[in-house]
Amino acid sequence: MPRPAPKASALELRARFLSQIGPATPFYQLFEHLPDIAFFAKDAQCRIVGASRLFYERFGFQKEADILGKDDFELFPRQLAETFRRDDQLVLQTGEARLNLVELFFNQQGVPDWFVTNKLPVCNSRGAIIGLMGTTHSYETRKALLRPFLNIERAVDYIREHFRDRITVEDLARQVHLSARQLHRKFMEAFGVGPQAFILKLRIQAACEALQNPNELIADVGATLGFCDQSAFTQAFHKHIGLTPRQYQMQFRLRRN
């Protein structure tokens, strides 16, 4: 009587199954049905090679093909892109995941909100790292991960609602019943910058969002965001982004043509 074939191990079973999957069935399509979670994948040159709908629509693209091949410097202001690139390079060079990275960005409604990003390496069949993949989660879906920041949450929420207005450190300190010095220290611990620098960063991000519309007047954007005049706006924008507001806006005007 012939012996039954040996039962494949669980790892062999998985490997055999994955080897049969074709490019027409990307697993990340599952993220289309998970609210507030966006997926992306990049190759070893940090170019986008896969993205869920929530990810590419965030940049105004209508289909995934429109974002493929682009990198962070084509999608974000330079300062943000440089931060993302550093994280990507760490994953690619070390093979170690970068988990629970917390940043403040603008959501689809144009409101600043917390996002938590996870990045993991992608390896080929020989174990060599060929890229990375990641997810971004909105604040509401990952609130438990942000406990270290919640002791100044009221101050940050106040900034989110009033960053276009004149805000003093004393205003913020009163929101959380701290002295101005204590608040500054806690912001430095959480974000690496003081409250005023944090507010300016948020205003610059808002300006980047607004300037993606080629019909926005630069003077109006600066005034709306609380800059005293266009010269002050241009100087601050150039310092943080490396481009003048007009140069930045022209990039998006050319991209749309």
pLDDT per residue as tens digits for the range 154-170: 888 888 888 888 888 88
> What's residue 146's pLDDT?
54
**pTM over the 0.75 mark:** no
DSSP code at position 7? P
pLDDT per residue as tens digits for the range 103-149: 766 666 555 567 788 999 999 888 899 999 999 887 655 555 555 56
129-138 sheet: strands from edge to edge = 48-51, 37-43, 129-138, 112-123, 98-106
Over residues 246-250, mean pLDDT: 86
- The percent of residues above 70 in pLDDT, for the chain, comes to 84
> What's residue 90's pLDDT?
92
Domains and CATH numbers, the chain: 10-144 (3.30.450.20), 146-256 (1.10.10.60)
The H-assigned helical ranges of the chain are: 10-19, 53-57, 72-75, 78-94, 153-162, 169-176, 180-191, 195-211, 218-224, 230-241, 245-256
Task: Specify the pairing of strand 37-43 against strand 48-51.
Answer: antiparallel
Over residues 35-55, mean pLDDT: 91
Give me the DSSP letters along 85-105: HHHHHHHHHH---EEEEEEEE
pLDDT per residue as tens digits for the range 179-227: 999 888 888 877 777 889 888 888 888 888 888 888 889 999 999 998 9
For the cut 80, the answer to whether the pLDDT of residue 252 exceeds it is: no
